[in-house]
Structure 1
Amino acid sequence: MLDFLLRLADPSTVGGNILIYAFVITCGLALGRIRLFGVSLGVTFVLFMGLAVGHFGFVPNPTVLGFLRDFGLILFVFFIGLQVGPSFFSSFRSGGLELNGLALFGILLSVALTVLFAFLMSGSIDLAQMLGVYYGAVTNTPGLGATQEALSELDYAGPDIAVAYACAYPLAVIGIIGTAILIRKVFSIDLAEEERLWSLHETEQNAAPITFYVEAANGYLEDRTIEVIRKVINRPFVISRRYNEAEGLVSPGPKTRVHVGDVLRVVAQEENKEAIVAFFGKERTDVDLTSEHSPVSRRIILITDPSVNGQRIRDLHLANYDGVNVTRVYRAGMEIFPYRSLHLNLGDRLVAVGPERALNRLAGVLGNQEKKLDHPNIISVFVGIALGILAGSLPIALPGIPVALKLGLAGGPLIVAILLGRYGPSLHLVTYTTNSASLMLRELGIAFFLASVGLAAGNGFADAFVNGSGLLFMGLGFLVTVLPLVAVGVAARLIFRMNYHSIVGLLSGLTTNPPALAYAATLSEKNSSAVAYSTVYPLAMFMRILSGQIVLLLFWTSVSG
């Protein structure tokens, strides 16, 4: 039976390659569920399972190994980018300068430690090997590849730096997660409270609209249309209902005229309430125009028609729907005020009020067929991935750098995905993917990536320990991993009073580490670390790729000598 299984796992066959991956991922995920001291590594354990299997010689075909590693990483970062894209730029304005400043500080500190250790250990390892340790310590595979290319251009003939990378990488994953746990213990952080504060901060940054009633007591308003009143006040608001004794309750449109004494139900952002109330003349807190017998209906309409994707609210021409008003837009769990310039996305849920027949007409235009969203738009996904690979492959020539810089297969797709998530609807590109499909592809991608890294590093990892350099690589790598992260984490908490979930995302993005982000996702049901991760990841990826080549440029004599 054992001989049969060994023949079946032959890496020269398609079935053998698939069987090896299936075994590593299955066992890794199963063992990753085991909790030690209240902590489980989750999908990260796939990496260690791959190391064990690779050590015993069950290594897939190198072509298959490289393809699944890179494709898995692309899938993971691409769907992370699509998820955080809509909020990426707003988060950069609100806290991105602090996050990226801390990330840059951490990168410079890790590079300085790498150079310092290379000179201190010059009798044991050279600078090139120390750069292998550095990239393993920050778990940056694209940077390792870029540095190997640079070394090739410089005719470096020393030991393969991938061995040092393989030794440093496993302990680096533990170091990143361990640093996050250490910060939580040192500052006695309550995860539930941190998540509540994070949600409160997000609510403040993306304030949901409020509803209130006003009475038209200003004589200027007599017989003015709502369209004219909105221009005079110059504040965004929606009047969803109007009541007076002569006409009763109606759902007004832009051309509806207001009379003194009318009671109006207004939807607006809280900061605009005072100005709106002051202009109309009086706030009413003793009325409710949403009774069951109201001739005005309220409905939530789902956008499922691709032709609506990217249109603005104004493009719906609501004035043609007999008094229909859109009062709110729900997107990705957020409640958004329906500005006339707001771009609509596939999957948005619109809260609309008005006559039943008019609401039915609007629902027909928007689609409102939930089953249509069950089928993800695969075309947009692969177009985005193709553009990401192209972006990552573009050479960036800088004066004095011996080889052109590249963002690689991780940085390119991530940046393109963020841009598509933010601007895709404006260009009428359908980037909507169901949450279940996105999670499935992300988990599949990270599992393939970790299994591939572990399987490839198995032999080199063991050989390094046989010749005695493995422990040295691991120890130096652990210091390069942990010391900058502790400094950044402490500074983020003490100086900037940063939320713990944002700190974990910062640390994961600083080390460009998808496994650490996968661990961070287990700390919060809202995946609150993803925004900080995506905010610093592009800068961190670029600087990691750049830093190795700059070190070679500045200290090449140490390598060649």
Structure 2
Amino acid sequence: MWQFFADNPWVAVFAVITLGALLGMVRFGPVRLGAAGVLFVGLLVGALDEDIAAAVPAGVSALGLALYVYTVGLESGPAFFRELRGQLPVMAGAVVALAVTAAVVGFVGHRGFGIAGPFLAGGYAGIGTTTPGLAAAQDASEDPTQPAVGYAIGYPLAVVITIVFVSAIAARRHWTARRDPGSGLPATLVTRTVQVARDLRWADVPGAAAHRVLASEYRPADGVTRVARELDRLSPGDQVVLVGGDEDVRAATDALGSTAPRHLLDDRSAVDYRRVLLTNPDLAGHTVGELGLGEKYGALVSRVRRGDFDMLAHDDLLLQLDDRVRVVMPRERTGEVTRYLGDTEAEVSEVSAVSLGLGLTLGFLIGIPSLTLGSTTLALGTGAGPLVMGMVLGWRRRTGPLVWTLPTRANLTLRQIGLLLFLAVVGLTSGYSFRENAFSLFGLKLAAVLAIGAVVSYALLVLVAKALGQSRERTMGLLSGYVGNPAIVAYANSRASDSRINNGYSTLFALAILVKIVCIQLIVGL
């Protein structure tokens, strides 16, 4: 009866995606499998009949993978290059830890248990939860089903063991962080109207010079409300609207006076404010200061919402398509500002076919060259080539009229589609081999090797971060990025509210993928 799936492979692919997505929603303790549920359902369906693997359309997995890694690169590239100088010691330590882990997995697995390189390479990708790494292992192996078996065994081990590590880190209240004393950014933003009680220059207000507190509206004691542009001196009787983190706004309020009985934002007769969707492609990749809203319209940006995060605006903050920009402006200029920024919902999911096509073309091209070392051939391939190109282009943001970055919603949509297609095909084509190998003494040996490798790997990264004076919160984020699983960073955020978690995740996520791909190709050659 299972021949039906072999005769109708597209039915099999999308049935696996559907059932796998449902499985991914099921909570197992503190996490969900997410997209990985598609892989496990694919393995189950593929195990039903060996003819299913041969019927799956060729090239679908490569296309899905390319879309996934390219969009990941576009998003993580700016953070990687921004953090490169300050976090270089941590990055170097992560590279060493990954190399040591590869040596441990390769030596113990091959020399100690006689396990073939492709199984170990897939398992190494599994304990690193790196989908591009699995693709690299399959490309380098004569039998691409072998790495998938190792990946499927290593992946759940990685999730469980990493959560144990994150929980242990979160429980450490006395964690010395000599080089990472503060987050630098508020976790949440608040808005408060302050009644000024003393003469004070705005530059002397706590947090103002460091851009941790921003004034959005201002009403002098004997005047009308106006946009707080070029604010100089505040006097008793004035009112000012402050925006920033709760602690920073509280400190600024204490320095100025007290909370006003009425909120200035409730009166929109002279000054209006609203979130405007940035969809004008000519403005993508420019900073808040380069928008020129003050000079053009007498307006200012108070905050920028990107995805689920609110950021306090400052002149050097880079903008991207699909940002929601909170603008404070004279009421009569509202229409002009809105048209200037775009604010067109229909354009949110639009993708430039020129920039996407050219970026992927360049990514595939740099993945072609290879280097032969003995019996091992190293190449960026379809997994790392588009990733590297996406990182570079995401960092550049634009080249003349070409905007490389994608709107956030479009990026996430393409990424999800690519990942689901890749995992569904890998599961279907590897299921029968998984059935023959995983539930055996061989499978237990491989699981033991991967468990040892995972513990060694994660412990090394934590020790490196601790030795380099990183905070508890950033270490949680670094470990999440090092492993590369969104479920882990979500769990870390549930244990502590601090922007350093996401910053740490961005620092190592793309770098770890690239290093794992190189290590994986070396392990295959064992």
TM-fit CA distance, 1:261: 7.4
Going from structure 1 to structure 2, the CA distance change for 1:253 and 1:305 (only over 3 Å counts) comes to same
> Per the alignment, in what secondary structure is the counterpart of residue 285 of structure 1?
strand
Alpha-carbon contact 1:10-1:17 (below 8 Å) kept: yes
- Decide which structure has the larger Cα Rg and report it: 1
- Specify which of 158, 163, 177 is matched with residue 176 of structure 1: 158
Alpha-carbon contact 1:84-1:530 (below 8 Å) kept: no
Which residue is 1:49 aligned to?
41
Matched, 1:101 2:84: no
Amino acid aligned to 2:365? L
> Per the alignment, in what secondary structure is the counterpart of residue 57 of structure 2?
helix
* CA distance in structure 2 between the partners assigned to 1:48 and 1:181 by the alignment: 20
* CA distance in structure 2 between the partners assigned to 1:313 and 1:187 by the alignment: 37
Which residue is 2:417 aligned to?
444
Amino acid aligned to 2:345? E
TM-fit CA distance, 1:452: 1.9
- Specify which of 418, 428, 431 is matched with residue 458 of structure 1: 431
* CA distance in structure 1 between the partners assigned to 2:225 and 2:431 by the alignment: 74
* CA distance in structure 2 between the partners assigned to 1:527 and 1:54 by the alignment: 42
TM-fit CA distance, 1:174: 2.1
Which residue is 2:51 aligned to?
58
Matched, 1:283 2:275: no
- Specify which of 193, 198, 204 is matched with residue 185 of structure 2: 204
- Specify which of 352, 360, 363 is matched with residue 385 of structure 1: 360
Matched, 1:133 2:114: no
* CA distance in structure 2 between the partners assigned to 1:486 and 1:258 by the alignment: 52
TM-fit CA distance, 1:427: 5.8
Which residue is 1:512 aligned to?
none
TM-fit CA distance, 1:9: 3.7
- Specify which of 521, 536, 545 is matched with residue 508 of structure 2: 536
> Per the alignment, in what secondary structure is the counterpart of residue 204 of structure 1?
coil
Post-superposition CA distance 1:418-437 (Å, at most 9, x none): 444444158661634353x5
- In the alignment, structure 2 segments of 5+ residues that lack a partner are 127-132, 173-180
Which residue is 1:156 aligned to?
none
Alignment coverage as a number of residue pairs: 496
- Specify which of 215, 220, 242 is matched with residue 243 of structure 1: 220
TM-fit CA distance, 1:108: 1.0
- 384-393 vs 527-536, which moves further: 527-536
Going from structure 1 to structure 2, the CA distance change for 1:46 and 1:68 (only over 3 Å counts) comes to same
> Per the alignment, in what secondary structure is the counterpart of residue 178 of structure 1?
helix
- 457-466 vs 347-356, which moves further: 457-466
Amino acid aligned to 2:480? G
Going from structure 1 to structure 2, the CA distance change for 1:32 and 1:540 (only over 3 Å counts) comes to closer
* CA distance in structure 2 between the partners assigned to 1:132 and 1:480 by the alignment: 15
Normalised TM-score (structure 1) = 0.69
TM-fit CA distance, 1:244: 4.8
Amino acid aligned to 2:123? G
Any residues of structure 2 matched to 1:255-270 within 5 Å, and which? 263=238, 265=240
Post-superposition CA distance 1:451-470 (Å, at most 9, x none): 2222222344455589x884
TM-fit CA distance, 1:172: 0.9
Going from structure 1 to structure 2, the CA distance change for 1:382 and 1:214 (only over 3 Å counts) comes to farther
- Specify which of 355, 369, 385 is matched with residue 330 of structure 2: 355
- Specify which of 293, 297, 300 is matched with residue 274 of structure 2: 300
Post-superposition CA distance 1:185-228 (Å, at most 9, x none): 767969xxxxxxxxx9867367859766768958xx9xxxx9x9
Any residues of structure 2 matched to 1:53-132 within 5 Å, and which? 53-55=45-47, 56-61=49-54, 64-65=57-58, 67-85=59-77, 87-89=79-81, 97-98=89-90, 101-102=93-94, 104-121=96-113, 124=114, 129-130=116-117, 132=119
Which residue is 2:342 aligned to?
367
TM-fit CA distance, 1:369: 3.2
Which residue is 2:176 aligned to?
none
Amino acid aligned to 1:541? I
TM-fit CA distance, 1:533: 5.0
Post-superposition CA distance 1:484-510 (Å, at most 9, x none): 34534764898766448636624533x
- 367-376 vs 265-274, which moves further: 265-274
Which residue is 2:284 aligned to?
309
* CA distance in structure 1 between the partners assigned to 2:257 and 2:438 by the alignment: 77
- In the alignment, structure 1 segments of 5+ residues that lack a partner are 149-159, 191-199, 510-515
Alpha-carbon contact 1:42-1:519 (below 8 Å) kept: no
Computed over aligned residues only, the root mean square deviation of the Cα atoms, in angstroms, reads 5.0
Which residue is 2:175 aligned to?
none
Going from structure 1 to structure 2, the CA distance change for 1:307 and 1:476 (only over 3 Å counts) comes to same
* CA distance in structure 2 between the partners assigned to 1:100 and 1:497 by the alignment: 17
* CA distance in structure 1 between the partners assigned to 2:307 and 2:238 by the alignment: 33
> Per the alignment, in what secondary structure is the counterpart of residue 264 of structure 2?
coil
Amino acid aligned to 1:431? T
* CA distance in structure 1 between the partners assigned to 2:164 and 2:233 by the alignment: 62
TM-fit CA distance, 1:272: 9.9
- 256-265 vs 85-94, which moves further: 256-265
Post-superposition CA distance 1:511-534 (Å, at most 9, x none): xxxxx5467658868999876555
* CA distance in structure 1 between the partners assigned to 2:210 and 2:158 by the alignment: 47
- 471-480 vs 268-277, which moves further: 268-277
Amino acid aligned to 1:44? A
Alpha-carbon contact 2:40-2:152 (below 8 Å) kept: yes
* CA distance in structure 2 between the partners assigned to 1:412 and 1:294 by the alignment: 51
> Per the alignment, in what secondary structure is the counterpart of residue 379 of structure 2?
coil
TM-fit CA distance, 1:18: 0.5
Alpha-carbon contact 1:313-1:342 (below 8 Å) kept: yes
Which residue is 1:332 aligned to?
307
Which residue is 2:178 aligned to?
none
Alpha-carbon contact 2:105-2:450 (below 8 Å) kept: no
TM-fit CA distance, 1:57: 1.8
Normalised TM-score (structure 2) = 0.73
Q: What's the % identity of the aligned pairs?
A: 21
Amino acid aligned to 1:241? Y
